[in-house]
Chain A
Amino acid sequence: MAFIDARTLPDASRIEADLVIIGGGLAGITLARELAGGPLKVAILESGGREIDEEIQGLYAGTAVVKAPDNPDKPFDDYPVQSRARVLGGSGMIWGGKCVPLDPADFTARAWAPHSGWPVTRPQLQPFYDRACDLLEIPRFDADNKILKDPARPPLALDPQDGFFSAPRVFTRYSGGADKTAFDRFRTDFADAPNITVYLHANVTQVRLGKDGDKVEALDVACLNGKRHTAVGRTYVLAVGGIENVRLLLASNGVRPEGIGNRHDLVGRFFQGHVTYSLDGDAETEGTAVHVSRQPSMSLYLNPGRTGAHCVVAAGLSAQARMGTGNFTATLYAVTATGAGTPTEAETRAVRQVAARVDGNRQVGDGGDGQLLGFFAMSEHFPNPDSRVTLDPSAKDPLGMPRIHLEWRYAKADWDSLERSAAGFGDALGASGQGRACWPVQRGKLLEISSASRHHMGTTRMSADPTKGVVDPDLKVHETANLYVAGSSVFPTSGIANPTLTILALVMRLADHLKRDMGVRS
């Protein structure tokens, strides 16, 4: 139906809909898109406007620190504000658009990974992954990985017995950074449907429960120009992102002092992000590197830009079980050799020449010793209840909301998993005669060479057991009858996959559930 600037509504307006979606990021918008044109009246309450604005973005400011064994703490105060965007479209305005489903292994309960296991499986999610791919206009990731069948871009011949495989990723154009026109369409055209209204500059500051504490009654909505409104629906979906979902649930403590959905003290815990680890070499020291013994093109692995699939090398379930590790990927990239003529470079060459010959891939006289590439490693962090988002009651934003504090904790098991996986990756390359890996990083330097992705997962985890999860497998808050959560905060484990395709698949599934639950006939 429309976009409405909530600042222009008369003060104390009452917004009414069947379904109220809090947050107009990719999750909230995808849900509204699924319901557009249907019988349910849908309102999206979105904090931002159409463009990123410093004052609005400032509402995200908070504090953060990363704590990891054997490494000095890493202050990370800019992370809460820099790792997301508070604007219509959310972080979709700035995301890379890289899409990949979680691996089947990611959904399994792995005995060596405490708190692992999803209450849904990859096959159950597959039809929703397919729909999410269609929405983003990317090829589907089917079980046989057809996406990889390009004879001009051969994959590494990794022996399946070692449990490592080539895992594809693709890019969608629906990103504010990649194709602003297409993304503008994506984030606005659904609102042409007569049943959809998007309220901009509408910050939800409180989710109000009824006096029994088991049902949402209304939402407090605040604008930065001082206007205050109320929103009322039959059903509510919280979709304000993996950190902000926590903030709103914990800050909504009017009826339940511990916040909403937090009877078992789980809201905000199990924060997981994705982290990359790489080290550049120099004349004296090795970097994280891969020698590939073969000469043919490695273009399947070296980022070809935004078109076509590109692959990482990933650890499958059998490798994880053997190594006692979480998911792991190595992403390869081109490097220019440095340090020519130094002893380090000479030794690297000798290593590569012998490896190329042993692997049998060098053609004598072609002068080739295979290819030297860089790689960055990503290793799944095991869910950790002490890694958490909390509220800082001493710091409030201009709307009176307490700011967040993120204490992102890694455990020794995370380092063990990373190092064992990097070693296993090298072993798999070597055992298959495909190459060798170099992992020259000391444990005490891991945090220093790490770089955090802007993926926020785990803080309102999904579980069929109300004592172990904030939301149930339908994404409904266990203890609240009419409140659902969408976004990566519901992921029980993080895998390595960029989260958004899975967010969208879960949202599509939620849309189907809500249609059934709210009496929409198909």
Chain B
Amino acid sequence: MSTALARRDLLAALLAATALPGLAHAATPLLPDLDRAAAARIGKAWLAGRPDIGSAALARRLLPHGRGPDALPALRRQVSEDFRRGAVFVHRGWRLSETEGALFGLLALEE
């Protein structure tokens, strides 16, 4: 899988369960306005504390059942659990779940 394709799939997964799920399958770019460089910087900040982690391991952790439409509800559950058990990643004051930090990490690795 080419890097660009993988990234698009991840972004698709992020959109898969939004309020208009049909659109998630459309050919339109799914996160057209996500600033890749900014996302990668956040991802690198998350990865800085975890130098040994690779994209495959991260993908297995975040998207164990692939990048299909079921991915997002699962991510959402993980995010809630993270916040409740204090598994957070703070980026310039923004309090994000570990899972979101890892997502940015994956985006950075797949950039």
Contact = CB atoms under 8 A, between A and B. Distances in A.
Interface in A389-446: 423, 426-428, 430-433, 436-441
B19 A362 contact: yes
Contacts of B79: 358, 430-431, 433
Contact of B72 (A344, A348, A360, A367): A360
Given A351-B91, A355-B100, A427 B86 contact: yes
Given A363-B19, A440-B92, A347 B41 contact: yes
A271 to B, nearest CB: 31
B93 A438 contact: yes
Contact of A436 (B23, B95, B99): B95
Given A343-B38, A357-B18, A357-B31, 8 more contacts: A347-B91, A351-B42, A351-B91, A360-B76, A364-B19, A426-B95, A433-B76, A438-B94
Contacts of A362: 18-19
| For the complex of A and B, 8 pairs with smallest distance between CB atoms | A440-B93, A426-B95, A346-B38, A431-B83, A430-B83, A364-B23, A427-B83, A438-B93
Contact of B100 (A358, A364, A432, A441): A358
Interface string B69-89: 000110110011011101010
B45 to A, nearest CB: 9
A324 to B, nearest CB: 13
A357 B104 CA distance: 13
25 contacts: A286-B92, A286-B94, A288-B93, A350-B42, A351-B96, A354-B14, A357-B18, A358-B14, A358-B100, A359-B76, A360-B17, A360-B72, A362-B18, A364-B15, A364-B19, A364-B24, A426-B88, A426-B95, A427-B86, A428-B83, A430-B82, A431-B80, A431-B83, A437-B94, A438-B92
Nearest to A288: B93
A349 interface: yes
Looking at B31, B80, B93, the one whose CB has the most chain A CB atoms below 10 A away is B93
Interface in B40-63: 41-42
Nearest to B103: A354
A285 B93 CA distance: 9
Given A364-B24, A364-B30, A365-B20, A354 B95 contact: no
A258 interface: no
Nearest to B16: A357
B14 A357 contact: yes
A201 B99 CA distance: 66
Nearest to B95: A426
B2 interface: no
Interface in A138-162: 162
A522 B65 CA distance: 74
A486 B97 CA distance: 47
Given A350-B39, A357-B18, A361-B19, A431 B84 contact: yes
A347 B76 contact: no
A389 to B, nearest CB: 36
B100 A354 contact: yes
Contacts of A365: 20, 23, 28
B103 to A, nearest CB: 6
A361 B20 CA distance: 10
Nearest to A364: B23
Contact of A363 (B18, B38, B104): B18
A303 interface: no
Nearest to A357: B14
B6 interface: no
Nearest to B81: A431
Contacts of B37: 346
A290 B83 CA distance: 16
A364 to B, nearest CB: 4
Contacts of B31: 353, 357
A86 B67 CA distance: 68
